[in-house]
Amino acid sequence: MNTTEGPLATRIPYQLILGLVLIAIWWPIAWLQWRPFSDYYFFPLWLGYILAIDGLVEWRTGTSPWRRSPTTWILLFPLSAVLWWIFEGLNEFLENWYYVHPDGTGRLYYFTTSTLSFATVIPAVIGTIELFASFRIGERIPGLGHWKFGASGLMRFQIAGVVMLILIAIWPTYAFALVWLALFFVLEPINQRLGQPSLWQYARQNNWGPIYNVMLATTFTGFFWELWNVFANPKWFYDVPFVHVLQIFEMPALGYFGYMPFGMEVVAFTALSLWICGHRPQRYMRASMDDPVETSSRD
């Protein structure tokens, strides 16, 4: 492992240029519904977002998720597909969102294109978190004090997450919002026990800036999910109880608050997955510019 940090402002990273080109091509294709290309817009458009954000992070800080370890960066894509298929399974109970596809598509098309689309979630969120961290946005918001959990506290925390999942299954009409908290409650104590860097370590130190960066960055990413979805086909719609008072694009306005804890779930899932893949604690993502940068010597 080695650590590096320092701005590289003398050149524009190539992934930033490539990402902006992909966005410029695929955004109009999606909104104008130029078939058959628009049937497959989601992955290349979001790959453009991911590359552009990664390039901005490198431009500002001299490092980025891609630059530190291309192998780990690529691994985020299949991990992301796994994570969102878990949410699709939970949505079988909730039925809070559903998809509309062009006519003439079958199950293989749905599975393949959906898996490719789901594969972009974690890379998009992780990159945007680092971008927000580079501006130290979260550090400007007051903290919430020291939150310390012993072994028994972590156990209660995890049991609460399991209870949330049970409530989602048996009482989905009223427990639907818990889907954006449950996985964090279940997974974060595991990260703590394994010694994997986690969000609770920041809370224990009264260092809430990185946690705010996670929540705000994921909401920012969610804005683009909803923006690019609005005129696209295929697309998704929402059917969420009690909250359809005001919509921003297809999403009920209150639904944007769900992106904040969802970002914490993304970070907890990614941290645990990387520990499993590497069989050791490792810090790949930075939610704060004060975090050390770990670069894989294998790349």
Which pLDDT belongs to residue 203?
Answer: 85
Going from the C-alpha of 81 to that of each of 57, 183, 220, 294, the distances in angstroms are 24, 15, 20, 24
Percentage of the chain beyond pLDDT 70 is: 94
pTM of the model: 0.92
E runs forming strands in the chain: 97-100, 235-238, 247-248, 251-252
Residue range 105-131, pLDDT digits in tens: 778 888 999 999 999 999 999 999 999
Residue 46, burial from CB neighbour count under 10 angstroms (0-12, 13-18, 19+): buried
- Residue 294: DSSP 8-state: P
Percentage of the chain beyond pLDDT 90 is: 71
Asked which of 127-131, 219-223, 283-287 is least confident by mean pLDDT, the reply is: 283-287
Contact by Cβ (8 Å): 124, 267:
no
Q: H helices then E strands: how many in the chain? A: 12, 4
- For residue 297, name the pLDDT band (cuts at 50, 70, 90): very low
Contact by Cβ (8 Å): 5, 62:
yes
- For residue 147, name the pLDDT band (cuts at 50, 70, 90): confident
Structure tokens at 112: 């393949």
Which pLDDT belongs to residue 85?
Answer: 97
Structure tokens at 219: 């909401």
Place of tokens 């969420």: 240
- For residue 1, name the pLDDT band (cuts at 50, 70, 90): very low
Rounded to whole angstroms, the Cα distance separating 227 from 241 reads 22
3-state secondary structure of 270: helix
Residue 263 in this model has a pLDDT that exceeds 60: yes
What is the CA angle 90-91-93, rounded to 5?
A: 80
Selected residue with higher pLDDT from 284 and 57: 57
Residue 87 in this model has a pLDDT that exceeds 50: yes
What is the CA angle 80-2-59, rounded to 5?
A: 65
Report the pLDDT averaged over residues 69-96.
Answer: 96
Rounded to whole angstroms, the Cα distance separating 207 from 230 reads 37
Mean pLDDT of the chain, nearest integer: 90
